[in-house]
Structure 1
Amino acid sequence: MERELLIIGNGFDLQCGLKTHYKDFFFDRYGINLIARKMQSKEKDIKNRPFSEYQEEAEKDVVVFLRKVINDLDIDRLLQNNTNANGYLVNYFLQKLRKKGLLENDPKVKEKIEFTNWDVIFLVAYILMEQTLYWNDVEKAIFDVVSLVLKPDQDEFSDYSFISDSAKSKFKKIVKYCFKENRKDTASAMLDALKKFEKQFAKYIRKQLHEHKKIYLAEVSNLLKKITFRGDIDSVELDVINFNYSLDEYTVNYLKERKAISNISVNSWVNIHGIAYWNNSTIRAYLNKIHGREYGALPAPIFGIDGHDILSPSKNKILDLDDPRIIFTKSYRLIDSQINTIRDKKHKFPSTVNKMIFYGHSLGHADYSYFETLFDLYKIFDSNVELNFYYHAHSQNLRNRKSEQNMLKQVVNLLTSYGETLTDQHGENIVNRLVLEQRLNLLPTSKC
């Protein structure tokens, strides 16, 4: 039996039909999709216009509106005031969004809208920055914000382009005012607000799963079989590290019981950053049962920053344990969220695998620590383990080449970085060794 380790990123969910880009979440959260649907409903006779066109029109309208909202905000006066922020900007933007009709106003829905200071920051950044990169990398945004507030001596946001110098200055002031608290522990207050924001993202993922359930499950089944079976393999024992919050062990068991993923035996499954259905009693009861627990909370989705980014400048690279940003690192967040409540020691990673498969993951630097740990575990320099990396294939040749080249660059960066930790084994040659031994493959998603 083939033993494989599968690492899943957001590209997996996108391939299976979910709209899980951060931008999709923000468009839904801040009313752009709501306005677009209203525009679409007024043009029922036009059937060929894609929804994305309505989104573009709605986005332009919202940008103009928010630019005025921000221009009208006298942030200098607020900062000079000695009183606490007390959520002033949250209420300010919430009222403006409501007045504009950017929030759902269904009388049947009694759930309170959980708006946070992090929402304020993402909204303001979207307007005052020249590009939407800030919406593409939420975890980098978190790092920059906590650094500005908790380590004000550092020059954060230097690698972002703002529409003007005054816009950059105003953005920084807004960030500082958002967390202007007369508390002893500002970091904890920031983390509490972030946890509320994360639960709203979980809510959005659950909405996506509900709306696209049938198609999503069918695509998941097909994709799992395609990327795990190659050649004349009869069966696969699979261990999965899922960086997404969607597909969890409960759902995989559902597919298994319906023989949708025949010949795949799942040894272990972990959603390393939590699951969208963290508060679902049925799923909680199921996971507790199969992992031999009478009770146990499930970890909610987390956004964490890379611990590498807050290493002290000392030669030994020892973590500065007095750095207040530590509580935002992925290592801390994993422990704090009790990620092991969805695993047990019986279902642990095998001592050896034949193949490591990376599908839909951008291989960002923030996750290097995970990958380096796995590379150590399976001794990829000296073993026979095969590494397969999938890149998103496009029908247009130019876009396809760019996608392939970008993934190749990410793979080389990751392996070279790992190789630097293997000085006694000429680790700088790890890429060459894997290629010569036919253990490194770059594969298109459409040809898996």
Structure 2
Amino acid sequence: MENNKLVILGNGFDLACGLKSKYADFFEKRISEDVSACLDRIYQEFSVEIDQPIYYFETLYDVRNKYIKNMKEVDPFAIKIISLTKKDKEILKKSKLTFWDVVLFYFQKNDEEKLEEVDWKDIENRMLDFLKNEESGKPSLVNILYMLEHFDRFALDKINWLCLYLAKILSDEKKIPEDFVEYLYHELRFFEDSFIDFLSEEVKSNEDYENYATDFLLQIVSVDNVSDLFKQKYLSFNYTEPINDPYFKITNVHGTLESGHIIFGIDQTKVNPLKEIYRFTKTFRQMTETSIAKRSDELILPRKEEINEIAFFGHSLSQLDYSYFQTIFDFYDLYSSDVTLAFYYSLYGSVTNLEMELDLSKKIGAMLKIYSPSIGNENQANNLMHKLLLEKRLIIEEIKIDNMI
């Protein structure tokens, strides 16, 4: 049997090929120093006790005004109006930020993370936090929806007042849906369009991207000829298409730049399908917005007899994508088959081989531990990793950049 692989690519692949495709890169370019300083000034402005009825400011869906009207015994002469300066309003409107930019910015502010420490999975974690959690001091859909319905002073804390205040300013020229969740979906599409513009420009400005991508794939697949790459199957969690050739078949599970439609979403295992926020899961959006759910003669996963290795490169192995991996491992009957799991990496910066392999080993161990109960047999589940190692079906291997053509 030929050495046929299912190659799974993550954002680390694009980074290794020279693209600045991190969330931090996007955020840094999208939110300039002026915009960041503006958002900081507004945050400080809202350090006052704005939950008191004497403070007035406009918000999306006129929530603040309805809240004040709902309060009794308010002296109209005591009301204090909070308003941005003309300069700050101009900065915000020119920025073309979305509601999701605001949510992500203030989550970061509260988490005190530096831009360079933020990676892609944090977008999805923060989306999930916003959509499900009720934690005080951070943006929360649960609290906002409660406020939209009840208008009482205990429903919403200052950070959510602030998000609704900025949403009003940023949405002045947009048609706002009557339903807030629908508004969130539209804003997410605007946010995704901005990332498409950012990454498309990054790909265009990197003339060596396809060459690097080709060289990396040749090493991952262990072949010498580019034509041999076309015999493999590729599953990418990126929005890019590494080789511009009609014979190169790749499935981008979250959309592509070329299609003009990409997906940011949350893990479907964390959300009840009957809940309204299920529409923000990757699974639901793939089903309704991508070609994956459409009829096609092309198989997304090659037949079991056609694959002897599942090769990972550049994927963070985040729990957010475990549902994909469980499906793949089940499909190829990982425990009983001869399929090898191979995890390839390349060094960057001052990171050593030992550090990379220790980090990968921890992530692989965590992934297999969570996956193993799905095997069904408790004894087999407990020894899955040992079995793979003894059968030499678990490999961690460096791809040396020095070997690039």
> TM-score scaled to structure 2, two decimals?
0.75
Instruction: Identify the match of residue 376 of structure 1 among 330, 345, 366.
Output: 330
Residues 205/396 of structure 1: CA separation in 2 closer, same or farther (3 Å cut): closer
Is 1:326 aligned with 2:278? Answer: yes
- In the alignment, structure 1 segments of 5+ residues that lack a partner are 33-60, 104-112, 154-167, 257-265, 280-299, 311-319
Mapped contact 2:9–2:312 kept (Cα < 8 A) = yes
Query: CA-to-partner distance for each residue in 1:248-273, whole Å, 9 max, x for gaps?
Result: 6xx4316x6xxxxxxxxx4x421100
Match of 2:245 among 239, 253, 258: 253
Deviation at 1:191, TM superposition (A): 1.4
C-alpha change, 1:79 and 1:443, in structure 2 (3 Å) is farther
Structure 2 SS opposite 1:253: coil
In 2, the alpha carbon distance for the partners of 1:95 and 1:78 equals: 26
Q: Offset of 1:445 from its aligned partner?
A: 3.5
Matched, 1:85 2:94: no
Alignment of 1:389-400 (within 5 A): 389-394=343-348, 396=350, 399-400=352-353
Alignment-derived partner of residue 316 in structure 2: 362
2:15 is the counterpart of 1:72: no
Provide the residue aligned with 2:88 in structure 1: 96
Q: What amino acid is the match of 2:97? A: F
State the partner residue of 1:202.
196
Q: Which deviates the most, 130-139 or 235-244?
A: 130-139
**2:262 aligned counterpart, secondary structure:** coil
CA drift of 1:392 comes to 4.2
Structure 1 letter corresponding to 2:16: Q
Structure 2 letter corresponding to 1:422: I
Instruction: Tell me which of 126, 129, 132 is aligned to 1:144.
Output: 129
Correspondence 1:278-357 to 2 at 5 A: 278-279=259-260, 300-310=261-271, 320-340=272-292, 344-352=296-304, 353-357=307-311
Query: Is the 8 Å Cα contact of residues 8 and 313 (structure 2) preserved in structure 1?
Result: yes
Tell me which residue corresponds to 2:221. 228
Pairing 1:241–2:235 present: yes
Q: What is the total number of aligned residue pairs between the two structures?
A: 351
1:335 is displaced (CA, Å) by 1.2
| Kept after mapping to 1: 8 A contact 2:373/2:381 | yes
- Cα distance change of structure 1 residues 445 and 188 upon mapping to structure 2, 3 Å threshold: farther
Are the counterparts in 2 of residues 121 and 174 from structure 1 also a CA contact under 8 Å? no
In structure 2, how many angstroms separate the alpha carbons of the residues matched to 1:186 and 1:147?
A: 15
- Give the equivalent residue in structure 2 for 1:165: none
Partner-residue secondary structure (3-state), 1:304: coil
Distance 1:445 1:78, change over 3 A: farther
Query: Which residue among 171, 174, 199 is the counterpart of 2:162?
Result: 174
SS in 2 for 1:2: coil
Does the 8 A contact of 2:219 with 2:399 survive in 1?
no
Helix, strand or coil at the partner of 1:362: coil
Check conservation: 1:79, 1:177, Cα contact below 8 A: no
Give the whole-Å Cα distance in 1 for the aligned partners of 2:235 and 2:86: 37
Distance change in 2, residues 1:184/1:396 (3 Å) = closer
User: Are the structure 2 counterparts of residues 66 and 3 from structure 1 closer, same or farther at C-alpha, using a change threshold of 3 Å?
Assistant: same
Give a deviation string over 1:113-132, Cα, whole Å, max 9, x none: 64211122223334343223
Deviation at 1:354, TM superposition (A): 1.1
CA distance in structure 1 between the aligned counterparts of 2:98 and 2:132, rounded to whole angstroms: 18
Cα distance, 1:395–1:126 mapped onto 2, change above 3 Å: closer
> Can you list the C-alpha shifts for 1:338-393, whole angstroms capped at 9, x where unaligned?
23278822344321201110000001001001011000111111111111112342
- 2:244 maps to a residue whose letter is V
* Aligned counterpart in structure 2 of residue 434 of structure 1, from 375, 382, 388: 388
User: How many percent identity over aligned positions?
Assistant: 26
123-132 or 406-415, which deviates more: 123-132
Q: Which residue of 1 aligns with 2:29?
A: 28
Aligned residue for 2:374, secondary structure, equals coil
Query: Structure 1 residues 14-23 or 329-338, which shifts more?
Result: 329-338
Structure 1 equivalent of residue 97 of structure 2: 115
* Paired letter, 1:277: E
Q: Distance in 2 between matches of 1:128 and 1:410?
A: 27
**Structure 2: how far apart are the matches of 1:422 and 1:430?**
9
Aligned to 1:241, the other structure's residue is in SS state strand
Q: CA RMSD in A?
A: 3.8
Instruction: State the 1:96 CA deviation.
Output: 2.5
Offset, 1:145: 1.2
The 3-state SS of whatever aligns with 1:387 is strand
> What is the match of residue 271 of structure 1?
252
Partner of 1:404: 357
Distance 2:86 2:395 in 1: 49
What are structure 2's unaligned runs of at least 5 residues? 65-82, 134-139, 145-155
